[in-house]
Amino acid sequence: MTEVSIPFPFAEVDYPSYSVFPVAGLAALAGFASLAAVGGVASTWIRQTTDDLELDDAEWLAIGFPLTAGGSVAAVLFLGPIAIPVFAALLLIELFLFFKKRDAVVAEQRQFLRKGGLRALKSEIQTVIRRTRAGNDENPAEPGSRSLTGRFSEFRERLQKSLARPPKSTSAAGARKRRGNDPHRDEQAPPADSQGFIFLKKDGAVAVDASPGSSGLSDNIHNTKRILQKAMELLATDVHFEPHDDGYAARLRVDGVLMDADSISTGEGKGVAQAIKVMSDMNIAERRRPQDGTFSIQAGTDKYDVRVASSPTSYGEKLVLRLLKTSGGILSTGLDGIGVRKRVLEQLRAIIHKPYGMFLVAGPTGSGKTTTVYAALSEIDAKQHNITTIEDPVEYRLDNITQIAVNTKADVSFASILRSVLRQDPDVLLVGEIRDRETAEIACQAALTGHFVFSTLHANDSVATITRLLDLGLDPTLLQTAVTAVLGQRLARRLCKACKEPCEPPPGLTKKFNLDEGAVKHIYREKGCSACGGTGYKGRIGLHELLIVTDEIREQMTAQPSVNALKAAAIKNGTVLLQLDGFLKVLQGHTSVSEILRVTT
């Protein structure tokens, strides 16, 4: 290759011969174009971020970054390649300064200057590219499509305004203050009614259309909608709407723990209670007796079934709403989504596909029994099997499955429906809950006559389930032949991934697993941050204890069984007790020792 020297008005540059020059020239042009594109996307992202987080003292970066990128191109032409590392360093310094300001006001899992920050940066870049494309496609005047001159003019105006007012704090506390003291904002999805918000009667008819833009809505509907939106955003399972001497308070059960959410005046509270009772088909004139009702909510693409229970108190009528998300969620993932260990998962799948038998899920109220049973049902082919459920009330709606609700007012009980359903050629039956001897006996007889029966029971663990059924007066022989397996269950809160911190394991923990001291270097404990509302926990995970009924366990199912003997037989056959399963999840970093002790002792 021959080198020819061509005089250049700015700097002396040696260009290669004609055979190589087009390639090198195109490569240079591509590099400059890439740099300009990166500068444009980065400046758009910086401007959008400063808008969202109100970082007034960082607005200059929205102009400074593309100017630096453009200046680097000019400097290369004037000074030659020696300018590249200088301007690259300037760009990195500007990005570092912006990252530092941004990280001070966002949740830890969204921060860039920490371990795992590259994943957060990738996610942020993808988001801003989508927003930029949407802005260009939908409205040429949107920020993503404005020219550099237009942005500079806007920046100059905003800078003048910002100089006229005191600077805002960029600390985490200041950011929380600007967010209205809402520690969950960084983690929340867009408002639940961004695509619509419709209250539905239990028969599917529209009760109230409270979608954005709807007119003529009463204050009662607005207040009801606001409380339920908050519950949906925080993934609450229950809403407690309670009267007090000075008004009504709304409390939400999030991850199994109640938290204050809202408070309104007595008059507004009575209006909300009345609106909920109307949508639930409850008697609004009756305030002296407990009532039950249901309604549904279509919030965008999400569907919720709401179960309402009212009761009289000394200050007025209290309502408790159970929220059940029927769109997606656990039903779409089946047993994979309930948090069982791989070995237990394989055993569960083998059990639920048996042609006959009984599978029981046991635990206290709120331990996820119904969700687990539904997750198991969702894995059975409903088109090839006749599946019927008997529930009080029907909680999740499943396709191609016959679901029957108990109606105690009409004297339609679990037992009476079960007798009738057995004459309708069922393959799989779900009995919502075993509450009495009659229901237990019919369910066991169904399990012995070619049907597979799912049911739930209130008991502390799998062994206590056996003794509870015997206490109901069930014949031990019937129990021995009907029950296939029992799953004891609890729900423990997950550690927040953004703030959990390592700590030394307690000495007794390693002994439980026969591990040498030092085999486990550390476990994790709760800390608290803005992402989890200061609790240290976010979400829940299941603890499971699977007891498969074997011949050895059947021998212990006598009229007066020994609990210790039953437990010993279960452990011998491979059952991992609830607390031990919880400590396994502690070693895996999912939860903490204190949380396991809270839910299992």
- Residues 240, 150 share a domain: no
| Domain enclosing residue 256, as ranges | 197-325
The mean per-residue pLDDT over the stretch 379-400 comes to: 85
**Amino acid found at 299:** A
**Amino acid found at 465:** T
Quick one: pLDDT at residue 560?
86
Cis omega (within 30 of 0) for bond into 393: yes
**Among 141-145, 504-508, 543-547, where is mean pLDDT lowest?**
141-145
**Span 286-326, pLDDT tens digits:** 988 999 888 999 988 888 989 999 999 999 999 999 998 87
**Secondary structure (3-state) at 66:** helix
Using the predicted structure, report yes or no on whether residue 201 has a pLDDT greater than 50: yes
Q: What is the 3-state secondary structure (H, E, C) of 125-169?
A: HHHHHHHHHHHHHHCCCCHHHCCHHHHHHHHHHHHHHHHCCCCCC
Quick one: pLDDT at residue 415?
86
Give the up-direction half-sphere exposure of residue 596: CA atoms within 13 A in the CB hemisphere: 21
Using the predicted structure, report yes or no on whether residue 52 has a pLDDT greater than 60: no
- Residues 131, 88 share a domain: yes
**Span 437-447, pLDDT tens digits:** 989 999 999 99
- Residues 334, 318 share a domain: no
Quick one: pLDDT at residue 429?
94
Residue 257, in any domain of the structure? yes
Using the predicted structure, report yes or no on whether residue 22 has a pLDDT greater than 60: no
The candidate with the shortest Cα–Cα distance to 61, out of 87, 99, 31, 88, is 99
Domain C-terminal end among 145, 178, 211: 178
Tokens representing 418? 């079960």
Domain C-terminal end among 325, 350, 383: 325
Quick one: pLDDT at residue 6?
44
Rounded Cα gap, residues 378 and 371, in angstroms: 10
- Residues 392, 317 share a domain: no
Residue 418 phi/psi, 5-degree rounding, is: -60, -40
- Residues 396, 304 share a domain: no
DSSP at 328: S
Residue 526, in any domain of the structure? no
Quick one: pLDDT at residue 27?
60
Q: Per-residue confidence at 101, pLDDT binned at 50, 70, 90?
A: confident
- Residues 260, 149 share a domain: no
List, in sequence order, the alpha helices (H) in 256-368.
266-279, 330-333, 342-352
**Span 156-197, pLDDT tens digits:** 554 444 444 444 433 333 333 333 333 333 334 444 444 689
Quick one: pLDDT at residue 18?
42
**The model's pTM:** 0.62
Using the predicted structure, report yes or no on whether residue 46 has a pLDDT greater than 50: yes
Q: Per-residue confidence at 414, pLDDT binned at 50, 70, 90?
A: confident
Other residues' Cβ atoms within 10 Å of the Cβ of residue 258: 12
Rounded Cα gap, residues 77 and 88, in angstroms: 15
Residue 78, in any domain of the structure? yes
**Among 204-218, 322-336, 470-484, where is mean pLDDT lowest?**
322-336
Express the helix, strand and coil content of the chain in percent, nearest 5 each: 45, 20, 35
- Residues 335, 285 share a domain: no
Using the predicted structure, report yes or no on whether residue 24 has a pLDDT greater than 60: no
Domain C-terminal end among 178, 210, 234: 178
Residue 592, in any domain of the structure? no
- Residues 469, 370 share a domain: yes
> Is there a contact between 251 and 258 (Cβ–Cβ < 8 Å)?
yes
Q: Which of 290-299, 388-397, 502-511 has the highest mean pLDDT?
A: 290-299
**Span 253-295, pLDDT tens digits:** 998 889 999 999 999 999 999 999 999 999 998 988 999 888 9
**Span 332-377, pLDDT tens digits:** 677 888 888 889 999 999 999 999 999 999 999 888 898 899 889 9
Residue 224, in any domain of the structure? yes
Contacts of 75 (CB under 8 A, 6+ apart): 83, 86, 87
One-character DSSP codes across 373-388: HHHHHTTS-TTTS-EE
The candidate with the shortest Cα–Cα distance to 308, out of 224, 416, 208, is 224
| Domain harbouring 412, CATH code | 3.40.50.300
Residue 144, in any domain of the structure? yes
Rounded Cα gap, residues 199 and 552, in angstroms: 53
- Residues 564, 452 share a domain: yes
Rounded Cα gap, residues 169 and 177, in angstroms: 9
The mean per-residue pLDDT over the stretch 76-101 comes to: 69
- Residues 172, 67 share a domain: yes
Give the up-direction half-sphere exposure of residue 87: CA atoms within 13 A in the CB hemisphere: 22
Q: Per-residue confidence at 98, pLDDT binned at 50, 70, 90?
A: confident
Quick one: pLDDT at residue 322?
92
| Domain harbouring 286, CATH code | 3.30.450.90
Distance from the first to the final alpha carbon of the chain: 81
Rounded Cα gap, residues 596 and 601, in angstroms: 8
Quick one: pLDDT at residue 596?
92
**Span 533-567, pLDDT tens digits:** 888 999 899 999 999 999 999 999 988 888 899 99
Say what angle helices 563-572 and 462-471 make with each other, to 10 degrees: 140
> Is there a contact between 263 and 245 (Cβ–Cβ < 8 Å)?
no
Q: Look at the chain and report how many structural domains it folds into.
A: 3
Residue 339: burial class (beta carbons within 10 Å; 0-12, 13-18, 19+): buried
The mean per-residue pLDDT over the stretch 511-540 comes to: 83
Residue 470, in any domain of the structure? yes
One-character DSSP codes across 548-585: E--HHHHHH-SSS--HHHHHHHHHHTTPPPHHHHHHHH
Quick one: pLDDT at residue 166?
42
Using the predicted structure, report yes or no on whether residue 387 has a pLDDT greater than 80: yes
One-character DSSP codes across 165-194: SPPPP-SHHHHHHHTTS-TTGGGPPSPTTS
- Residues 60, 21 share a domain: yes
- Residues 350, 313 share a domain: no
